[in-house]
């Protein structure tokens, strides 16, 4: 797969672009390449798409920009050193010139996501791509997604789209000025520019953010210059000196990004304003007339005498300087200190503060002492610190004239403010000063924000008798008023308010009282408030939550309440609950914690979503939970479990194996009960009822009549679409009925990251948490999905996180609990078509075998077994169909399940190996999956050519964006290959000999490997596959024979034995 | 031209539109007072007309002198030269030393404001920044009029005031120090003052330490090349919804008047230009918000 990149090209001069900058769009892809090195000029980047390929690809993605032209640039990229392969000695054609240059270094450029070699080097590479004119580039960037993982777009495109969003915000807020930029030297014109004003505190912060997070590939280009000779006569070869002179082998050094980013932002803002600006006002004087025209022109060139341009430039500079200084690494900062004890004057100290990190400050004395040298502020270098400081103080004077008094000496370090002056600074001037780019640091108790407002300090604990199980119950609690970090009584507050001074000293801390503070406090005190457990959960979830308009500054919970809160907020792992009596098997430690968590939320009557990674055993945790209820005598009515048809068999099997005491009733198949009386009767002694989503929806009226104790949904993503009937039916059944029904959802997908799917899930689990759907969409879904709004997402996560437990197999705490290979049996059923085909095949063939001579029996039996295994895979395989029809996936239950699991694997970004013994099946799966997922799925089998084989393997192992699914035939792929990048192995069909399967598994698994490998073995329930599996497991005599002597024993089977082996059993 | 622009001794204003003196920076005001102290009011009135009607075709600052051309009654414009007495290097040493005594002076100058008490710094050298009397403004005109200042020179006087408001450093330039030179000298001077105030060793130590701590840090991307590609931040919350400026909160609102002297012939020019920018700015802001709303869908 290719990956799209975008790199800014500084002004380039060639026939199509008159020295203007552009955005270079280029793409790289994985392919086999020989190491290369620079000759007279940088080497060609071996992985990039040609501009023709790139155009086609962009057009296919509907991302082809306007205003593009072919371009080449020289990009500095981290590279891997590699020796030159012998066959590649001559990369250049023979030349008579004696001074042909042989590369001094050879290697390959690294690609995004590729592992970094121990000693990377930086080399320039010649990269071909498409350049977009700035104005078109801005509209193109606006079209890019602002969030989400788009596999075709490199990370820096998101950085660009965010930068463009900032540019739009600057334009929307009008934070720009027209400017005159004097020529930077010979050949550069004077230009009219639109410059963003970065004086506001948030814009300055943002500049630092963008600069520190700049992916350097966005700015690593030197433009590629076409030497003049090349166009005049294409056959003329340029002498290396000419090429070298035009494009020296030079690298772009990574530098602090602040200025670069400010320049890029300016380019984006300039391009958009320039494009939209209409320069049509009449009656301007000649100077302004020229300026106006230049501001609206493509090039911005100002044609005036130098004298006049300089005058214009000086005027525009002075104009701007009043509000915004230049982009400097540091700024002036005023620090306010509270008066010494017994004094009433406030000290204001002058200092120099790093933009990148406001905690880095030095006193002004050091800035003065540095003179014209360089000052080092942590890692930040500041040139002329004294001037930076003075310039900032000059601007500060315009908004806070009081400062004048403090600057009457040569090297002022601080001054004193009267209480009134200090109050002006705190209340109004601080914000204005920050707006003109001067830092202001106030004492913590006055530094604004919620912390310095009047609020509450609360102490609460569960009442003695309470077990902390019901949300409505009232807590024992005490509260105090709190402001600026100190507590105070209402009386004290009244006394302080009586002083009529906005800044007052209380218990050694200076605090600012606001007009409504006293009123709010009095209202609170007189209301005789109570606090419920529900309040406590809410107030401890987010900072700054309020109780009756008063922010809660401190919440101290007693030890017993603390335990409840911590578990609820998942600040610590839930208390483990040992596997209940009657549970057959051993829960792993993390599974015991999962069980404890389910029981914890159940006590609160809160719905729970167990979203553990695939393979961690959600099924058995749930079964253990039900067994726990049963043992505790809390399981009094049946529980409804809804799952996709493809996993119902699996549920039944697992329940039988792990919780044999649980009585499981199946409500599916054509013979299911259809009247409520019959069903109620049938369920009298049942614990769990299995049904499918489809039947749930069809039989909703019937199922709704049953008094369920709880509703459990497996593969909960099935209800993600809230308007689907299926989803509606499930949510209805969860909450109707006279008794409360507990709700549990199981899913292996990262639900908390799929915002659009969260609402239906939470509506099923705990409807109050996210409110109505419309509200949810406006408040969370649109901000997060469309704009990637991190604060909405955070808030959303805080709301839902108590109800979702997701653990990954890569978590440290989990990995130690897991064996290196986790074997999972995937039980599947047969589709109707498979069933009838299977039955008829068995019947027809057994008869034929019975009457055939002994000599032919062996072959016939083998043929039968093979055909049955093929039917278990897919009817199309047995019927030798070559094409994928519309209903393809529906015709095989196994394929359905396989596809569901692979969906999760892909979603998680994992890689999987699929082993099959049938090459034809490999082909069918390959074409089916490729069509479905629209990416390449390699298939390695017996007749794959040797060099192709190696390429497939290399790509799977090395390509950072290589295929996630790799199909191999058991015979060709089972030995010798190293495919350790896979963390899942699927045995789609079974082989008699487990050793062969294990060998194949070991392609992905190596001793000492850090990844855990999940091995999925598909078993078609009731079929010959189950028999094989059972034989292998039980290590029966028969199995030994099979393993020992191949398939010869088959010939010895009597027809009855054979029938027993192959006949389809009702599962 | 409207009649109310007709100057009388008391109503002459510098900005040749309707603005009064009160809106001028004080140093421009002071300059105008100097001009208005001229005794020959008739000549001033004619000069005012010249200035207002655009007879001044160019004003250039060349080094320490002002060169201008004024279209008089003759065919070719008259050449006017105008200059102040330059301070000697020795004078400047005193001035700089005095200027350094108050950080505010440098601070204000750097922010584009002429300190109101700047003359106190010049008093140290016994000199002035502003000419005290009209006679201190030296001038030459190529016109036949023997009187000095003639009406051509006086016309330049009027326009000069606006030029001063463009850039306070122009006055320093006329007195012999360019902006760059002045600021560099001031920085040096400050360091000297500081050195004399505190223990010299300590001061050097402080600075040297800082220099020692300044090995060029390798860029983080050199240590971790994956930073070449990596960007996993989400869109900052306050860029989610793109909002317009609050009333009076655009860049144009906060910078105020464009400090560019107006051409008398185009009295509305600056206002027209700024109005147009404002109106275009609003339209472009609308467009940007529309674009932002349709993003990423």
Q: What is the mean pLDDT of residues A820-847?
A: 90
Q: How confident is the model at residue B5 (pLDDT cuts 50, 70, 90)?
A: very low
**pTM of the full predicted structure?**
0.74
Alpha carbons within 13 angstroms on the beta-carbon side of residue B148 total: 12
Separation of alpha carbons A912 and A965, rounded Å:
5
Q: How confident is the model at residue A255 (pLDDT cuts 50, 70, 90)?
A: low
Alpha carbons within 13 angstroms on the beta-carbon side of residue A540 total: 25
Q: How confident is the model at residue B195 (pLDDT cuts 50, 70, 90)?
A: low
Find chain A residues with C-beta within 8 A of B110's C-beta: 387, 390-391, 394
Q: What is the mean pLDDT of residues B38-54?
A: 81
Query: Cβ separation of B191 and A372 shorter than 8 Å?
Result: yes
**A413 pLDDT more than 50:** yes
Interchain CB contact of B226 with A (< 8 Å)? yes
Find chain B residues with C-beta within 8 A of A118's C-beta: none
**B241 pLDDT more than 90:** no
**A630 pLDDT more than 90:** yes
Q: Which helix (H) or strand (E) holds A1019?
A: strand A1013-1020
**B207 pLDDT more than 50:** no
Query: Cβ separation of A319 and B277 shorter than 8 Å?
Result: no
pLDDT in tens, A893-920: 999 999 999 998 888 888 999 999 999 9
Interchain CB contact of B290 with A (< 8 Å)? no
Interchain CB contact of B106 with A (< 8 Å)? yes
% chain A with pLDDT above 90: 32
pLDDT at B206: 44
> Which site among A285, A314, A793 would you substitute to test the B interface, given the most B Cβ atoms closer than 10 Å to its Cβ?
A285
Query: Cβ separation of A311 and B243 shorter than 8 Å?
Result: no
Q: How confident is the model at residue B296 (pLDDT cuts 50, 70, 90)?
A: low
Report residue B161: phi and psi, to 5°. Answer: -55, -45
Separation of alpha carbons A321 and B179, rounded Å:
15
Q: Which domains does chain A have, with CATH numbers?
A: 2-153+215-254 (no CATH), 330-442 (no CATH), 450-568 (no CATH), 589-815 (3.40.50.10810), 822-1062 (3.40.50.300)
* Facing A178 at nearest CB: one of B100, B277, B283: B277
Query: Cβ separation of A174 and B245 shorter than 8 Å?
Result: yes
Query: Cβ separation of B236 and A790 shorter than 8 Å?
Result: yes
Query: Cβ separation of B241 and A783 shorter than 8 Å?
Result: yes
Strands (E) in A768-896, as ranges, are 804-805, 821-828
% chain A with pLDDT above 70: 90
Q: How confident is the model at residue B217 (pLDDT cuts 50, 70, 90)?
A: low
pLDDT in tens, A856-894: 777 888 888 889 999 999 999 999 988 888 889 999 999
Is A891 within 8 Å of A874 (Cβ atoms)?
yes
**A178 pLDDT more than 90:** yes
Distance (Å) from the C-alpha of residue A112 to the closest C-alpha of chain B?
Answer: 6
Residue of B nearest to A403 (CA): B104
Report residue A332: phi and psi, to 5°. Answer: -70, 150
> Which site among B66, B162, B240 would you substitute to test the A interface, given the most A Cβ atoms closer than 10 Å to its Cβ?
B240
pLDDT in tens, A310-332: 888 888 888 887 777 677 788 89
Interchain CB contact of B293 with A (< 8 Å)? no
* Facing A146 at nearest CB: one of B100, B225, B296: B296
Alpha carbons within 13 angstroms on the beta-carbon side of residue A363 total: 9
What DSSP line would sit under A723-776, residue for residue? Answer: TSHHHHHHHHHHH-SSS--EEEEE-SS-GGG-HHHHHHHHHHH-TTTT--HHHH
**A499 pLDDT more than 80:** no
Distance (Å) from the C-alpha of residue A325 to the closest C-alpha of chain B?
Answer: 9
**B13 pLDDT more than 60:** no
Query: Cβ separation of A787 and B227 shorter than 8 Å?
Result: no
pLDDT in tens, A351-396: 999 887 788 888 988 888 876 678 887 777 888 888 889 889 988 9
* Facing A314 at nearest CB: one of B166, B194, B227: B166
ipTM above 0.85, yes or no: no
Q: How confident is the model at residue A760 (pLDDT cuts 50, 70, 90)?
A: very high
Report residue A31: phi and psi, to 5°. Answer: -155, 165
Residue of B nearest to A389 (CA): B107
Residue with tokens 């360091």: B191
| Most confident segment among A268-272, A428-432, A562-566, B181-185 | A268-272
* Facing B251 at nearest CB: one of A174, A215, A387: A174
Separation of alpha carbons A165 and A210, rounded Å:
12
Query: Cβ separation of B276 and A390 shorter than 8 Å?
Result: no
Residue of A nearest to B60 (CA): A307
Query: Cβ separation of A213 and B285 shorter than 8 Å?
Result: no
Query: Cβ separation of B233 and A162 shorter than 8 Å?
Result: yes
């Amino acid at each position: 797969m290719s990956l799209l990149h975008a790199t800014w090209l500084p002004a380039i001069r060639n026939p199509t672009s008159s020295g203007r900058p552009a955005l270079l769009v280029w793409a790289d892809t994985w392919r086999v390449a020989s190491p290369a090195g620079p000759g007279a000029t940088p080497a060609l980047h071996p992985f990039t798409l040609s501009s023709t390929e790139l155009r086609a690809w962009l057009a296919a993605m509907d991302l082809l920009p306007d205003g593009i032209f072919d371009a080449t640039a020289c990009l500095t990229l981290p590279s891997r050193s590699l020796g030159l392969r012998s066959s590649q000695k001559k990369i250049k054609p023979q030349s008579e010139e004696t001074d042909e240059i042989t590369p001094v270094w050879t290697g390959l450029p690294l690609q995004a996501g590729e592992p970094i070699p121990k000693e990377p080097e930086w080399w320039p590479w010649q990269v071909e791509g498409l350049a977009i004119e700035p104005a078109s580039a801005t509209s193109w960037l606006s079209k890019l997604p602002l969030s989400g993982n788009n596999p075709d777009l490199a990370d820096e495109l998101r950085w660009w789209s965010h930068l463009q969003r900032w540019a739009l915000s600057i334009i929307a807020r009008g934070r720009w000025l027209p400017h005159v930029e004097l020529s930077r030297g010979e050949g550069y014109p004077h230009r009219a520019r639109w410059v963003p004003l970065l004086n506001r505190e948030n814009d300055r912060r943002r500049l630092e953010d963008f600069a520190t997070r700049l992916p350097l590939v966005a700015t690593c280009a030197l433009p590629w210059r076409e030497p003049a000779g090349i166009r005049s006569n294409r056959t003329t070869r340029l002498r290396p000196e000419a090429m070298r002179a035009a494009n020296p082998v030079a690298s772009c050094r990574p530098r602090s990004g602040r200025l670069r980013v400010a320049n890029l932002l300016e380019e984006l803002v300039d391009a958009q304003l320039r494009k939209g600006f209409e320069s049509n006002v009449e009656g301007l004087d000649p100077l302004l007339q020229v300026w106006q025209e230049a501001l609206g022109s493509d090039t911005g060139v100002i044609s005036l005498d130098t004298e006049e341009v300089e005058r214009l430039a000086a005027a525009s500079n002075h104009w701007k300087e009043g509000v915004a200084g230049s982009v400097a690494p540091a700024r002036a900062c005023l620090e306010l200190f509270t008066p010494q004890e017994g004094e009433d004057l406030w000290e204001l100290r002058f200092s120099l503060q790093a933009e990148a990190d406001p905690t880095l400050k030095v006193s002004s004395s050091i800035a003065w002492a540095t003179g014209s040298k360089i000052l080092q502020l942590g890692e930040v270098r500041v040139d002329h610190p004294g001037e930076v400081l003075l310039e900032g103080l000059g601007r500060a004077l315009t908004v806070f004239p009081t400062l004048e008094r403090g600057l009457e000496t040569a090297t002022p370090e601080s001054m004193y403010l009267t209480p009134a002056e200090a109050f002006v600074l705190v209340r109004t001037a601080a914000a204005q000063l920050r707006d003109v780019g001067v830092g202001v640091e106030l004492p913590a108790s006055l530094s604004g924000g919620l912390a310095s407002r009047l609020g509450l300090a609360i102490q609460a604990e569960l009442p003695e008798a309470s077990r902390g199980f019901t949300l409505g119950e009232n807590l024992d609690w005490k509260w105090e008023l709190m402001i600026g970090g100190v507590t105070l009584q209402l009386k004290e507050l009244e006394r302080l308010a009586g002083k009529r001074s906005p800044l007052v000293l209380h218990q050694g801390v200076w605090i600012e009282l606001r007009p409504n503070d006293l009123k709010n406090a009095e209202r609170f005190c007189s209301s005789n408030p109570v606090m419920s457990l529900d309040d406590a959960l809410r107030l401890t979830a987010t900072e700054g939550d309020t109780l009756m308009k008063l922010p809660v500054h401190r919440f101290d919970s007693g030890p017993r309440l603390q335990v409840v809160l911590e578990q609820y907020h998942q600040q610590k792992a839930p208390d483990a609950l040992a596997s209940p009596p009657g549970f057959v098997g051993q829960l792993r430690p993390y599974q015991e914690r999962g069980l404890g968590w389910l029981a914890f939320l159940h006590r609160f009557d809160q719905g729970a979503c167990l979203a553990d990674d695939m393979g961690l055993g959600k099924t058995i945790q749930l079964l253990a939970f039900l067994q726990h209820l049963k043992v505790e005598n809390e399981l009094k009515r049946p529980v409804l479990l809804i799952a996709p048809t493809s996993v119902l068999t699996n549920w039944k099997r697992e329940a039988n194996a792990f919780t044999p005491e649980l009585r499981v009733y199946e409500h599916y198949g054509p013979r299911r009960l259809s009247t409520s009386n019959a069903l109620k009767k049938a369920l009298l002694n049942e614990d769990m009822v299995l049904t499918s989503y489809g039947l749930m929806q069809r039989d909703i009226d019937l199922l709704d009549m049953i008094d369920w104790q709880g509703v459990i949904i497996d593969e909960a993503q099935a209800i993600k679409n809230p308007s689907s009937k299926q989803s509606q039916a499930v949510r209805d059944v969860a909450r109707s009925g006279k008794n409360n029904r507990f709700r549990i959802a199981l899913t292996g997908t990262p639900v908390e990251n799929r915002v659009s799917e969260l609402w239906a899930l939470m509506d099923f689990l705990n409807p109050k948490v996210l409110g109505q759907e419309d509200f949810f969409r406006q408040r969370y879904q649109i901000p997060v999905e469309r704009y990637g709004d991190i604060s909405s997402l955070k808030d959303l996560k805080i709301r839902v996180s108590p109800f979702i437990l997701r653990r990954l197999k890569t978590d440290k705490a989990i990995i130690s609990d897991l064996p290196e290979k986790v074997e999972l049996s995937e039980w599947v059923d047969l589709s109707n078509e498979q069933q009838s085909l299977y039955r008829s095949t068995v019947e027809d063939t057994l008869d034929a075998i019975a009457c055939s001579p002994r000599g032919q029996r062996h072959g016939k039996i083998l043929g039968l077994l093979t055909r049955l295994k093929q039917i278990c895979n897919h009817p199309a395989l047995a019927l030798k169909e070559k094409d994928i029809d519309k209903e393809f996936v529906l015709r095989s239950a196994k394929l359905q399940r396989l596809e569901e699991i692979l969906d999760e694997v892909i979603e998680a970004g994992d890689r999987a190996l699929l082993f099959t013994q049938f090459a034809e099946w490999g082909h069918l799966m390959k074409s089916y999956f490729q069509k479905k997922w629209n990416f390449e799925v390699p298939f390695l089998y017996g007749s794959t050519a040797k060099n192709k084989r190696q390429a497939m393997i290399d790509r799977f192992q090395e390509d950072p964006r290589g295929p996630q699914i790799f199909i191999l035939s058991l015979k060709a792929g089972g030995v010798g290959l190293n495919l350790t990048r896979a963390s899942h192995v699927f045995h789609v069909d079974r082989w008699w000999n487990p050793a062969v399967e294990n060998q194949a598994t070991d392609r992905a698994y190596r001793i000492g490997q850090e990844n855990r490998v999940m091995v999925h073995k598909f078993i078609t329930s009731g079929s010959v596959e189950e028999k094989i599996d059972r034989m292998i497991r039980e290590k029966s005599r028969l199995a030994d024979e099979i393993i020992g002597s191949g398939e010869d024993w088959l010939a010895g089977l009597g027809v009855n034995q054979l029938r027993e082996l192959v006949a389809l059993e009702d599962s | 031209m409207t009649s109310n622009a007709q100057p009388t001794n008391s109503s002459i204003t510098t900005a040749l539109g309707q603005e009064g003196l009160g809106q001028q920076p004080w140093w421009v005001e002071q300059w105008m007072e100097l001009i208005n102290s001229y005794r020959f009011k008739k000549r001033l009135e004619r000069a005012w007309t010249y200035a207002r009607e655009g007879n001044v075709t160019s004003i250039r600052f060349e080094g320490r002198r002002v060169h201008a051309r004024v279209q008089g009654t003759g065919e070719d414009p008259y050449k006017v030269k105008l200059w102040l007495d330059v301070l000697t290097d020795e004078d400047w040493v005193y001035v700089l030393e005095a200027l350094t005594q108050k950080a505010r002076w440098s601070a204000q100058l750097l922010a584009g404001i002429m300190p109101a008490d700047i003359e106190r710094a010049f008093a140290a050298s016994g000199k002035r920044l502003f000419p005290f009397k009209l006679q201190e403004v030296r001038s030459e005109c190529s016109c036949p009029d023997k009187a000095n200042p003639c009406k051509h020179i006086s016309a330049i006087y009027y326009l000069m005031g606006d030029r001063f408001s463009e850039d306070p450093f122009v006055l320093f330039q006329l007195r012999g120090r360019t902006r760059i030179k002045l600021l560099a000298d001031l920085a040096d001077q400050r360091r000297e003052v500081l050195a004399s105030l505190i223990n010299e060793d300590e001061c050097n130590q402080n600075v040297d330490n800082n220099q020692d701590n300044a090995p060029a840090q390798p860029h983080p991307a050199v240590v971790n090349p994956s930073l070449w590609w990596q960007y996993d931040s989400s869109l900052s919350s306050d860029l989610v919804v793109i909002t317009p400026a609050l009333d009076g909160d655009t860049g144009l609102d906060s910078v105020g008047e464009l400090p560019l002297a107006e051409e008398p012939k185009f009295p509305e020019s600056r206002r027209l230009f700024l109005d147009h920018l404002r109106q275009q700015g609003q339209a472009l802001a609308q467009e940007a918000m529309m674009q932002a709303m349709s993003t990423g869908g």
